[in-house]
């Protein structure tokens, strides 16, 4: 009887250890369908000086919707600081669209390796997300996994920054006027994390969290530039907010050694209708940086 119990216990212990081992390896790259480990898995990318650039201009075709004035009765401090507070989902200047995220979604380097299999250094510098005039500045931004975000409040009123990710934990913090900056980061890649303010319902921002540094956001003149790109063939995505999940467009580009590729996009008019919802995880690049082995 006693022997039998010991035996069962032993089998149970072995089974549990195997289970623990299996779950510990649960963070293995999901994009590796071969069952084997890619030669580049977890390997740090080292620039060799032959990197190139992807740049372009994002246009808005047709007449852009006019920005709407925001009623600030709920918090007069916002109206006092920013009397012309208006929506910023379509910032169009001379037919060019600002706040479009452009990033490399996937691709193959000239040596045949996949971009998603490489590891890239997390920038040591934090991205500052400022609450200023009851808007987030910048409105759209990109960070790398585990890169620090510094959240500041430049307004004479209280804000409540609320990240609402799908692939990362929810994060919700009050920040009274004059309070010290807050700090946050995301452990998993996610395109894109919506940001809202529980205090001011019109306040919105979007933060892209990527496994690599190859992303940029268009400026007022619609231009963007992604530097330090290893030579290769890539799928580049341009994302613009709107509706529930935004609109994305894709383009194939080839970056020659020490050269440049152009990726011009156009949203608005008929162009927007051809886009598809995109506020979701990147299929090939949603691997958490932590716990890889």
User: What minimum distance in Å lies between the beta carbon of 90 and Cu ion?
Assistant: 21
Alpha helices (H) along the chain: 2-24, 76-81, 269-273
Pick 60 or 202: Cβ nearer Cu ion = 202
Pick 40 or 199: Cβ nearer Cu ion = 199
Q: Which of 224, 237, 238 is nearest to 267 (CA)?
A: 238
**Which residues contact Cu ion (rule: CB under 5 A)?**
159, 197, 199-200, 203
User: What minimum distance in Å lies between the beta carbon of 136 and Cu ion?
Assistant: 9
User: What minimum distance in Å lies between the beta carbon of 164 and Cu ion?
Assistant: 14
Q: Which of 88, 95, 87, 98 is nearest to 64 (CA)?
A: 95
User: Which residue's Cβ has the minimum distance to Cu ion?
Assistant: 197
The Cα-based distances of 13 to 3, 19, 20, 23, 26 in angstroms read 15, 10, 10, 15, 20
Are the C-beta atoms of residues 120 and 114 closer than 8 Å to each other? no
Secondary structure class of 122 (helix, strand, coil): coil
Pick 204 or 212: Cβ nearer Cu ion = 204
Pick 61 or 160: Cβ nearer Cu ion = 160
Structure token digits, residue 237:
């995505």
Pick 175 or 189: Cβ nearer Cu ion = 175
User: What minimum distance in Å lies between the beta carbon of 157 and Cu ion?
Assistant: 7
d(CA 186, CA 261): 30
User: What minimum distance in Å lies between the beta carbon of 292 and Cu ion?
Assistant: 36
Pick 175 or 247: Cβ nearer Cu ion = 175
User: What minimum distance in Å lies between the beta carbon of 175 and Cu ion?
Assistant: 8
Helix (H) or strand (E) holding 113: none
Secondary structure class of 159 (helix, strand, coil): strand
> What's the gap between Cα 165 and its chain centre?
10
């Amino acid at each position: 009887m006693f022997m039998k119990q010991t035996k069962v216990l032993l089998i149970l212990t072995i089974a549990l250890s195997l289970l623990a081992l299996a779950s510990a390896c649960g963070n293995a790259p999901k994009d590796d369908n071969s069952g084997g480990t890619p030669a580049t898995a977890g390997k740090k990318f080292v620039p060799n000086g032959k990197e190139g650039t992807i740049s372009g201009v994002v246009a808005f075709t047709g007449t852009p919707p006019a920005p709407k004035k925001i009623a600030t009765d709920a918090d007069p401090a916002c109206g006092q600081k920013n009397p012309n507070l208006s929506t910023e989902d379509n910032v169009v200047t001379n037919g060019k669209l600002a706040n479009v995220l452009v990033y490399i979604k996937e691709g193959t380097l000239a040596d045949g390796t996949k971009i998603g299999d490489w590891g890239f250094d997390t920038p040591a510098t934090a991205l500052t997300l400022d609450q200023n005039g009851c808007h987030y500045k910048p409105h759209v931004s990109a960070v790398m996994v585990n890169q620090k975000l510094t959240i500041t409040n430049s307004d004479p009123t209280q804000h409540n920054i609320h990240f609402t990710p799908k692939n990362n934990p929810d994060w919700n913090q009050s920040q009274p006027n004059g309070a010290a900056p807050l700090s946050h980061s995301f452990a998993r890649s996610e395109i894109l994390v919506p940001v809202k303010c529980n205090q001011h319902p019109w306040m919105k921002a979007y933060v892209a969290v990527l496994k690599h540094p190859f992303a940029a956001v268009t400026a007022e003149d619609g231009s963007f530039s992604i530097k330090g790109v290893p030579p290769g063939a890539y799928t580049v995505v341009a994302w613009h907010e709107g509706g529930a999940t935004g609109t994305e467009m894709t383009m194939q580009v080839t970056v020659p050694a020490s050269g440049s590729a152009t990726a011009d996009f156009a949203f608005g008019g008929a162009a927007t209708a051809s886009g598809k919802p995109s506020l979701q995880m990147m299929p090939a690049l949603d691997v958490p940086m932590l716990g890889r082995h």
